[in-house]
């Protein structure tokens, strides 16, 4: 009876993946990515909303840093230097010719300033609105509604007539971070406030 001899692989060598096995693994990875990406996108958007609400809360605190009564007497002021140290820190870094001594990266400072300008532009491009119109636009943000109600209570206590001094309601704007301009609906009225007229020696070139 003939015996069948089995070929034995040399000791220490392993069989590699076949093309079919590799394709199966790639297919599984693609399926997992297709399942996970929508969840990651949703989580990222939720994170942006949380950050936005936190920024709104911080802005509300900053508006209350200097509080005065009807006789222009200061009621309260947070301790600080009004940002003078930041300006001096930037000047010192320029004199040294190095960014290592900066309190924050230049890009972070630029983005923070841009966010403050966005709020200012939204106000300047807005229009007068009633209290109810503002409430309707804030009803999805509980913190914003609470802040607005506190503001109304403060204004009423100081005898401010909202008929003579109405609120300004900014339009809903979409900001293109790459182009650093507003896009879509109501963008034309907002983009004209992005840049002002500067003296020749202070004009920042388009390409730095």
Task: Answer yes or no: is pLDDT of 77 > 70.
Answer: no
71 confidence band (pLDDT: 50, 70, 90):
confident
Tell me if 134 sits within 8 A of 169, measured CB to CB: yes
* Residue 128 pLDDT: 92
Instruction: Give the Cα separation of 119 and 109 in Å (integer).
Output: 16
Digit-coded pLDDT (tens) for 154-166: 888 888 888 888 8
HEC assignment per residue over 21-50: HHHHHHHHHHHHHHHHHHHHHHHHHHHHHH
Digit-coded pLDDT (tens) for 165-204: 889 998 889 999 888 899 999 899 999 888 877 777 767 6
Digit-coded pLDDT (tens) for 110-138: 888 888 888 889 989 999 999 999 888 88
Average model confidence (pLDDT) across the chain: 78
Pick 112 or 14 by higher pLDDT: 112
* Residue 182 pLDDT: 92
Pick 122 or 205 by higher pLDDT: 122
Tokens of 207: 């390409």
Task: Answer yes or no: is pLDDT of 90 > 70.
Answer: yes
> pTM (2 decimals)?
0.50
Which H or E element spans position 95?
helix 84-96
Closest CA to 186 of 199, 173, 197, 196: 173
């Amino acid at each position: 009876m003939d015996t069948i001899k089995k070929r034995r692989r040399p000791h220490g060598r392993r069989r590699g993946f076949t093309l079919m096995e590799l394709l199966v693994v790639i297919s599984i990875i693609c399926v997992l990515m297709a399942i996970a990406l929508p969840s990651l996108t949703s989580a990222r958007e939720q994170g942006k909303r949380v950050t936005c609400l936190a920024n709104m809360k911080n802005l509300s605190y900053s508006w209350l840093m200097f509080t005065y009564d009807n006789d222009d007497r200061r009621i309260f002021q947070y301790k600080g230097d009004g940002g003078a140290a930041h300006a001096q820190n930037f000047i010192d870094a320029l004199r040294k010719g190095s960014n290592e001594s900066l309190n924050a990266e230049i890009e972070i400072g630029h983005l923070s300033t841009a966010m403050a300008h966005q709020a200012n532009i939204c106000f300047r491009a807005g229009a007068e609105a009633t209290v109810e119109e503002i409430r309707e636009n804030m009803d999805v943000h509980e913190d914003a509604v609470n802040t607005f109600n506190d503001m109304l209570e403060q204004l009423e206590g100081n005898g401010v007539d909202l008929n003579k001094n109405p609120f300004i309601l900014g339009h809903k704007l979409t900001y293109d971070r790459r182009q650093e301009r507003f896009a879509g609906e109501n963008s034309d009225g907002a983009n004209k406030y992005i840049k002002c007229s500067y003296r020749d020696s202070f004009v920042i070139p388009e390409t730095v």
